[in-house]
Amino acid sequence: MKPKKTFRVGLIGTDSLRGKEIKGVLSVKKFPLTHIEFFDPDVQEEYSKLTQFQDEPRIIHYPTLDLLDGLDLVFLAGDKETNRTFGLLAREKQFQAIDLGDTFGNQEDVPVIVAGVNDDVIAKKRFPLILNPHPVTIILASLLHRLIPAFGVCKTVAFVLQPVSAFDESGIDELASQSTALLQGASPRKKVFKEQIAFNILSHTEAPDATGFSCGEKSIIAEIKRVLALPDFPISLSIVQAPVFHTYSIMAYVELNREAAIKDLERLFKESPRFRINPPSASCHFSSVSVAGKEQIFIGQIKKEEAFPNAFWIWTVTDNLTRGSALNALEIARILFASKSDDSTST
């Protein structure tokens, strides 16, 4: 009888938004880990901070090198400095790390993986570090991955409404406190955003370059091209800051190479469990309110453009912490677990 294979997991950044979400997903989904350790860089004293995992209290440790020994996989959900410090140790300590904070997004030797699109990359080769990309990359790469083989895509332009949770807890707190203050007739305090965000829309939150686009927008475009393995793919996007707590809402304009009808696109997306789509209706079934905390990419509307042949507008709403982060990371982890199982069997 073969011994049961072990898979030991660590989570750095347990109390961050991404950390809480991946911890919740690991707790409720059937992932075959045999041991998990929790870490946070703000732990001042051992046994001073606890969390819950599968209804049991667990200690959150300060991350140290000796505590990483023997781990197979580490989720990096802390601040960029912490993620970089421990991510760079992956090769030396012989564990694999999934970066949930876009810390290693500019490194060409770190694969950018969207599950169901290019996950074969990490199934074929072992990488110490793997990037769990930006939520917009996950959403648009998944969308285009369905469209390109079926119809071909000659142009994509996306208008992205970003939630304040893109700025972690501080963004959520600022929107909540500003909303309360304004409703009470008080002046809102600004710290995360340079302008009032409550009951407002901001055209940008990062300094633009000479073209008017931000580094963040250009980084997402580069990620999408890497995931699709199409370096010359014609895509542009613009991010607008919306006064919502969670979910990315994206209006994507796509021009197809082949003729198609709305029903053809609807049928294509219905074939994939990754998407959920409703037939046309006067009601707005999918919104930031209705989709928050859910697991799929929700397509609320498809419009066929009469002015341009084979052009469509596709409206998607997706939770940035579930499908846009934690579930993608979990699916990456499943592939790494399967690869380790195959290695164990072969040896």
β 73-76/8-12 pair status: parallel
pLDDT at 312 exceeding the cut of 90: yes
pLDDT (tens digit, 9 = 90+) per residue, 165-178? 999 999 999 999 99
| Band of residue 4 on the pLDDT scale cut at 50, 70, 90 | low
pLDDT at 141 exceeding the cut of 90: yes
> CA-CA distance, 141 to 118, in Å (whole number)?
10
> What's the rounded mean pLDDT across residues 288-305?
94
CB atoms within 10 A of CB 191: 10
> CA-CA distance, 342 to 22, in Å (whole number)?
25
**In 46-152, at which residue ranges do the beta strands (DSSP E only) sit?**
50-53, 56-61, 73-76, 96-99, 129-131
The helix/strand/coil state of 158 is strand
The answer to whether 324 touches 318, Cβ cutoff 8 Å, is: yes
pLDDT at 282: 59
Nearest to 68 by CA among 53, 87, 48: 87
> CA-CA distance, 66 to 132, in Å (whole number)?
25
| Band of residue 204 on the pLDDT scale cut at 50, 70, 90 | very high
CB atoms within 10 A of CB 131: 28
| Band of residue 93 on the pLDDT scale cut at 50, 70, 90 | confident
| Residue 229 buriedness (CB in 10 A; 0-12 / 13-18 / 19+) | exposed
**SS3 sequence of 206-261:** CCCCCCCCCHHHHHHHHHHHHHHCCCCCCEEEEEEECCCCCCEEEEEEEEECCCCC
Give percent of the chain with pLDDT exceeding 90.
82
> What's the rounded mean pLDDT across residues 80-105?
92
pLDDT (tens digit, 9 = 90+) per residue, 94-115? 899 999 998 998 899 999 999 9
The helix/strand/coil state of 25 is helix
The answer to whether 227 touches 234, Cβ cutoff 8 Å, is: no
Alpha-carbon distances of 263 from 47, 260, 270, rounded to whole Å: 57, 8, 10
> What's the rounded mean pLDDT across residues 214-235?
97
pLDDT at 316 exceeding the cut of 80: yes
pLDDT at 223 exceeding the cut of 90: yes
Residue type, 81: E
pLDDT at 346 exceeding the cut of 60: no
What predicted TM-score, i.e. pTM, was given to this entire model? 0.94
pLDDT at 1: 43
Nearest to 11 by CA among 119, 113, 95, 106: 95
Radius of gyration of the chain (CA): 21
> What's the rounded mean pLDDT across residues 46-61?
91
pLDDT at 347 exceeding the cut of 50: no
Mean pLDDT of the chain: 92
> What's the rounded mean pLDDT across residues 133-158?
98
The answer to whether 196 touches 185, Cβ cutoff 8 Å, is: no
> What's the rounded mean pLDDT across residues 317-338?
95
